Amino acid sequence: MIRFQRIGRKNDPAFRIAVLEKTSGPKAGKYVDLAGSYNPKTKATTVQGDKIKAWVAKGAQVSPTVMNLLIKEGVYEGTKNAVVSKKNLEKNKAKNEAAAAAVIAAEEAAKVAAKEAAEAAKVVEAEAKAAAEAPAEETPVVEEAPVETAAEEVVTPATEEVAAEEAAAE
């Protein structure tokens, strides 16, 4: 494995680019070969690209952080990897899961809303089609009735007698 091995004092980091056994820890001090160094404070970098390419040809794997440095230095071409430390990965795991669940819920809500909108559009389209196919209904013409005027009461002797009887009965 080709990866960084931290050297330097406390609060003054510097790194070796070392070829190590994958099972050995990076702080063990034992390495198979040195292929360069990197100082993040001064940005001083020494890389022996031919050694790194020879070890990769033999089957050595390059850590993502070292690969990003090699791409920056021009030893390899490609895009840089997004590197997250294990400590930060575990710390933010719950946050990432919650965010992923929120994204999934939002996508499902969008799908449901799209389905409802499609169904509503189908209903409106069916109503429009039915209205176009149905013959236009004719509105009945209502004839106005002639206005009646109050008729004058015709007083006859018979009506006088009925009125007199009603008055007497009261």
- Domain hosting 25: range is 2-83
Residue 146 lies in a domain: no
What CATH number has the domain bearing residue 34? 3.30.1320.10
Residue 152 lies in a domain: no
Residue 148 lies in a domain: no
Q: Look-up: residue for tokens 């946050």?
A: 95
Residues 17 and 44 in one domain: yes
Residues 28 and 71 in one domain: yes
Residue 139 lies in a domain: no
Residue 115's pLDDT is what? 86
Residue 159's pLDDT is what? 65
Residue 157's pLDDT is what? 61
By three-state DSSP, how is residue 161 classified? helix
In total, the chain counts a number of residues equal to 170
Residues 25 and 76 in one domain: yes
Cβ 16 vs Cβ 34: under 8 Å: yes
Residue 138's pLDDT is what? 56
Split into its structural domains, the chain has a count of 2
Residue 129's pLDDT is what? 76
- Which helix (H) or strand (E) segment holds residue 99: the answer is helix 93-133
Cβ 42 vs Cβ 68: under 8 Å: no
Residue 169 lies in a domain: no
Q: Look-up: residue for tokens 């990866």?
A: 3
Cβ 47 vs Cβ 63: under 8 Å: no
Strand pairing class (2-7; 14-19): antiparallel
Per-position pLDDT tens, the chain of length 170: 999 999 989 999 999 999 998 888 777 778 889 999 999 999 999 999 999 999 999 999 999 999 999 999 989 888 888 877 777 777 777 777 777 888 888 888 888 888 888 888 888 887 777 777 765 555 555 666 666 555 555 556 666 676 677 777 76
Cβ 71 vs Cβ 80: under 8 Å: yes
